A = this chain, B = another copy of it.
């Protein structure tokens, strides 16, 4: 509402041929909110949303705010059983979905008939109604937001067991958005390309930045490297958030489009490529530096409302491989055996501040376990250098302990990725009677490249200590990734049986 008052004609979002100004977005939001009220949605209700990135998704996020209802964004890759479990676990009152997920939503409805369902209309881009044929209740919509109120419950897989719903408050979003603006700068003509799924925190926090800043976004419903490259030029994109594998594919597509020997580049309007989703391979960062691509590394997680630590643009080259320094309102500690670690000493990353979740919905035990004296135990390993810059190593659960030595998968993956024939790499631990665990590697080759396991092993042997060298390196067609493109190391062992 405030963005619509301040910048009514400014482009709020673009999605293919669809363009909504902030005034138009606000109108859709208000109408959808009144439609949802007709469906019985009220303050405090938990409303699940199963949809791909679209303008309707955006309208839905803000419509729930206007009603004081809580958004539960669902991962579109979940199976029917997983969806049913999550909807029951969160006690959802309503399931909203787009046309693409109508059939699985109907199946879910068969199992959970008490949940009200409605389809977000694909035609909403041209029609004014987001849900067809549903009348609008005549109610007053909320105009003030309580920062301590819950905006969303976002299920995160965590490291073990069933996923749990992290509470995302409006205050977390506000502090995250403002701190990010101070860190990356904010220009009033910024335009952010949204290709991360909105049901992950990287996507959802971008939707909040858009309305807090009054900033345009360009929505891509799925990641397509060529389409993204084209959009960066045609839509004058200034910012984009990606994970490493997306950026790698963008660079490959860029070079293919070039048809030349000179590495492809982006226009100078692209001022920030925010790179998250896990430690980035050094060869990728070096490649970007050669192409003068303004990569800003970041470390974040759902529980920290995305971005928690960011490498300032001016440090990008000096601190290659670092995730940078915590955002202004965030405090960071490395703890080793429950004590603050010394510089360069590896330990678990702890975070505190107003961008950090107050806990997990309806899971007091998980909350107590994750939040210790107000500090969030992230489950990630890393260290601070002598200047206080964070280097993220791995998920603690992914750590391989081989003969008593800590072996970090990301370090080995980084070496494999530096090989010219390798497009993607993943490393995990395998039980070994002698060493406890040994690392094993999986690689996807560059299109048209060929190399055998022996050659790869020799390559690695020249670059890594013996205990870090993978016992085996398997050449596979693809690596397991989540819908944000993050590598799922825990699922690598499944490839062995295939």
Residue numbers of A with Cβ under 8 A of B are: 2, 5-7, 178, 181-182, 185-188, 212-214, 312-314, 325, 328, 388
Contact = CB atoms under 8 A, between A and B. Distances in A.
A199 to B, nearest CB: 26
Contacts of A6: 312, 325, 328
A328 B388 CA distance: 33
Contact of A212 (B2, B214, B325, B328): B328
Given A2-B328, A212-B328, A312-B6, A185 B182 contact: no
A5 B309 CA distance: 13
A329 to B, nearest CB: 9
A214 B186 CA distance: 14
A6 B388 CA distance: 9
Nearest to A7: B312
Nearest to A211: B328
11 contacts: A5-B325, A5-B388, A181-B182, A182-B212, A185-B187, A185-B188, A186-B186, A187-B187, A188-B312, A188-B314, A212-B328
Contacts of A212: 182, 328
Given A2-B328, A5-B388, A6-B325, 17 more contacts: A5-B325, A6-B312, A6-B328, A7-B312, A7-B314, A178-B181, A181-B181, A181-B182, A181-B186, A182-B213, A182-B214, A185-B185, A185-B186, A185-B187, A186-B186, A187-B187, A212-B328
A10 to B, nearest CB: 8
Contacts of A187: 185, 187
A69 to B, nearest CB: 23
A5 B315 CA distance: 12
Contacts of A182: 178, 181, 186, 212-214
Nearest to A328: B2
Contacts of A2: 328
Nearest to A175: B178
Contact of A313 (B185, B188, B314): B188
A17 to B, nearest CB: 25
Contacts of A181: 178, 181-182, 186
Nearest first, the 5 A-B pairs at minimum CB distance are A178-B178, A185-B188, A185-B187, A6-B325, A186-B186
Residue among A181, A187, A214, A328 facing the most chain B CB atoms (10 A cut-off): A328
